[in-house]
Amino acid sequence: MQLARAGSTTSLLRCLSNWLALGLRRPALPALLLGGALCACAGPGTAPAPGPAPEPVSGGGCARVQGLRLAPEDIGLQTRGAAVTRAAPAAAQEPGFGRFEYCALQGEIFPVDAQAPPIRFQVNLPQRWNGKAVHMGGSGFNGTVITGTGPINMALFTSPLARGYATFGSDAGHPATAAGADFALNDEALLNFAWQHLKKTHDVALQLIRRHYDQPPRRLYFAGASTGGREAFTAIQRFPADYDGIVATAPALNFAGLRLMGVRLGQASYRVPGGFLPPAKQVLVRDTALRSCDPLDGLTDGVVAAIDACRQRAPALLAALRCPGGQDAGAHCLSDAQIATVRLLHEGFSFGPYLAHGQTGYDGYNVLAGTDFSGSLGLGNSPVPAKPPSIAANGYLFATGDAYMKYFIARDPSYDALNFDFANPGPLRARINALSAVVGAIDPELRPFAARGGKVILAHGLADEVVSPNQTIGYYRSQVEQRGQAAVDAFMRFYTVPGFQHGGGTFIPFWDLLGALDRWVEQGMAPETLVATDVSAGANGRQRPICRYPFIARYKGSGDPQRADSFNCSH
Q: Which of 115, 255, 260, 259 is nearest to 185 (CA)?
A: 115
> Which residues partner with 136 through β-bridges?
223
Alpha carbon distance 351, 528 (integer Å): 37
Q: Which residues contact 8 (CB under 8 A, 6 or more apart)?
A: none
One of 226, 269, 292, 536 is an active-site residue; which one?
Answer: 226
Q: Which of 292, 301, 251, 264 is nearest to 460 (CA)?
A: 251
**Residue 481 burial by CB count (10 A; 0-12/13-18/19+): exposed, middle or buried?**
exposed
Q: How big is the chain, counted in residues? A: 571
Alpha carbon distance 139, 255 (integer Å): 12
What interhelical angle do 255-270 and 428-439 show, nearest 10?
A: 130
Alpha carbon distance 290, 285 (integer Å): 9
Alpha helices, DSSP H, located in 99-196: 187-191
How much is the CA Rg of the chain, to the nearest whole Å? 23
Contact indicator for 237, 446 with CB cutoff of 8 Å? yes
Name the amino acid, one letter, at 77. L
Alpha carbon distance 476, 317 (integer Å): 28
- CA distance to 69, 197, 232, 276, 370, per residue, from 76 (Å): 15, 11, 18, 48, 46
One of 174, 197, 346, 502 is an active-site residue; which one?
Answer: 502
Q: Specify the 3-state DSSP secondary structure of 107.
A: strand
One of 203, 244, 464, 534 is an active-site residue; which one?
Answer: 464
Q: Is residue 536 among the annotated active site residues?
A: no
Number of C-beta neighbours around residue 502 at 10 A = 27
Q: Is residue 464 among the annotated active site residues?
A: yes
**Catalytic residue set:** 226, 464, 502
